[in-house]
Structure 1
């Protein structure tokens, strides 16, 4: 059997209510793509027998490989196992190995309490399934092959789902992969909108063969260009796709961040580390999130010196060396202040570059002269300090995100300018 189309079904009212973000589907999509299996549909449904039965019935009509996550718990609202037993016209049987495992977990972590009767049901599995033993949790997965299709049922807890996919499911998928190869090439840009980018590379896009597709994936401040190719000859496919990616990268050189799938933060950490460049950040309106986005990247310690959250003017003065007269004359949200903040944190950290942000994120604090969304950003480099004023006028969360994106954009532009000298 060759898997041509995959589908992901996530079960849970909490997903539909927006109380839980469905990270499982995103992770599964990336894993399946790495295995040359294409996901054609992702569906989120409620914890009801009708919804589960309908979703399975529809998925079986259009997909060869169906992954279902969620609903395998011991409580009454977890109705997945009874429903899928009915769907496959089979029964639930108790797996003694699973039951022994569940009991051992309660003995270890139950603080001497007797295991609730309902947890015995976690050892119940489909009679027609291959049990996927869950070493890291109490709910086992199940693998069912029926009428040329594969169904995989997994717990919704992310770390349990990932364990089962990596240790139990992925090894089995080798026998089901398509003969076609899937290859992706990426070009990451910053500081240009997707429509302008599309105009810039329109002639290159027009030359793409039918088996290579170009996707524009914008995020605040960046646009990720993904070239996706499908074909039988993996080596030829990669060579041809990479050639188009190089042409796009060359055309967009002014805005280019990377020729691989990385975030701007990852690109900065990689380039600064390679060049022996150090970074320090002083933040007011972004509240440490900018520094956090850099330090979240593994290896950031090789290029990051310090991050200062200077909300109060006293900290701006005492730690960063901002002149009291500057604060009195121009205020915290001003070009003069962010210049001294950026240069102060650069000096404090003995860094190559210093970034400073100061603004009014909202929803309160604005004035007619400086309304909510007013943000000043400065980047101090080896030979100059650049500044820019922004008027975002969004809600607090978006204003902060936009401030972070623009700060990184300014840093990247100055770095590229300095590198070209």
Structure 2
């Protein structure tokens, strides 16, 4: 069953906001067994909206639209859909009652908000339990168009609780089967070469998607149809045999969560000492719910005096080897372990760029030391020329390096 996603709003086209709705919706639709044929973003223009509907309905069975349903004059989607489907707006008391329930706790009901109770006459109205703009569902010549608000938390609630269940009931769909692997130690091209024979000999209907991130690869093996589960399991077995210890996880998960799960399972605590990453690892780790069970804190020792005064890095090591060195990385890691009284630490010192590099230590040079109780591992990495990517690569590398130590005991 093919679907299209259309997001409406001039603010998307001029870059004022980022369209996160499409990615989330596409992911949920795919998991539910629907094929997302295309995604479009268009402006608040009535003719463009109507032309887009005409165009996408030639290729898909379901069109899901978000945006343009607010109370202000630039929110034209509802009126435009009336024009497109040849109907008119009528006042719906049940929608007004829902609006009163939504707004009663935090604001008064003004005329613009009240006017959102006007809905197209010839459609199915779905109440928006978390917002004031109602959802409209049109059945059109065997196809469906759904118009939802563009506010992300409203759209997500409506999709999960109303739209996806209704679509599943209306259409017959094939199950979408997938297995995800997080892989370390390969670039995208190197990984593709390593598993080329496997990929070339996949059974008909199978697909393999590569999703690279900085320092990690995500592989998604997929096929449609519940009856193909035994085949999928057989291909998973082959792929695992090829990748071996390069597999960090066998599910769609970020590295900071993988590390956190291992630390929690083993009852270990963690701290970071960060120079060139500026606290990014601490931010990533604490973005995971429950991280307070194992993460104790961070010292962002950007300046050398902070390394000396807080982490107790020796001035001798700084003078002799420089801040970006194995010796300083080790002392930072041991200092964080000691000062914050933890089992494990990650210390990073390097040259993120774009300036500060030398012939001996070019931009992208990073030393990472990880500790696990009385053990430590210190490694030198050479990343690229670009600051943002160097920070992310170093962050991921630090967490992977500690994960390796924890798993190996």
Query: Above 0.5 in TM-score?
Result: yes
Aligned equivalent of 2:7: 10
- Name the residue aligned to 2:403: 412
**1:19 counterpart (5, 16, 20):** 16
Structure 1 gap ranges (5+) = none
**Matching of residues 190-201 of structure 1 within 5 Å:** 190-201=184-195
Compute the displacement of 1:377 (Å).
2.0
Measure the CA separation in 2 of the matches of 1:124 and 1:171.
Answer: 25
Residue 105 and residue 213 in structure 1: after superposition, are their counterparts in 2 closer, same or farther (change >3 A)? Answer: closer
> Aligned match of 1:203 in 197, 206, 214?
197
Matched pairs, number: 408
CA distance in 2, matches of 1:390, 1:53: 52
Cα shift readout 1:225-271 (whole Å, capped 9, x = no counterpart): 1111112xx2x422321221222122111311012222222221222
**Which 10-residue stretch deviates more, 278-287 or 384-393?**
384-393
1:127 is aligned, of 121, 125, 136, to: 121
Deviations 1:46-80 (A, max 9, x none): 11112211111112111111110000011111111
SS at match of 1:164: helix
- 2:179 is equivalent to residue 185 of structure 1: yes
Q: Which runs of 5+ in 2 are unaligned?
A: none
Superposed displacement of residue 87, structure 1: 0.9
Taking the aligned partners of 1:66 and 1:373, their CA distance within structure 2 comes to: 46
CA distance in 2 between counterparts of 1:374 and 1:319 reads 24
1:35 to 2:23 alignment:
no
Tell me how large the CA RMSD over aligned residues is. 2.2
Residue pair 1:282, 1:354 contacting (<8 A) in 2 also:
yes
DSSP-derived class of the 2:58 partner:
helix
* Cα deviations by residue, 1:99-157 (Å, 9 ceiling, x for unpaired): 344356555433x6x71x33333112111111111121111111111100111100000
Partner of 1:347: 338
Match of 1:63 in 2: 60
Does the Cα contact within 8 Å between 2:6 and 2:41 map onto a contact in 1? yes
Is the contact between residue 249 and residue 259 of structure 1 (CA under 8 Å) also seen in structure 2? no
The answer to whether residue 294 in structure 2 is matched with residue 303 in structure 1 is yes
Choose which of 353, 365, 384 in structure 1 pairs with 2:376.
384
Alignment of 1:36-115 (within 5 A): 36-103=33-100, 108-110=105-107, 115=110
| CA distance in 2 between partners of 1:189 and 1:105 (Å) | 45
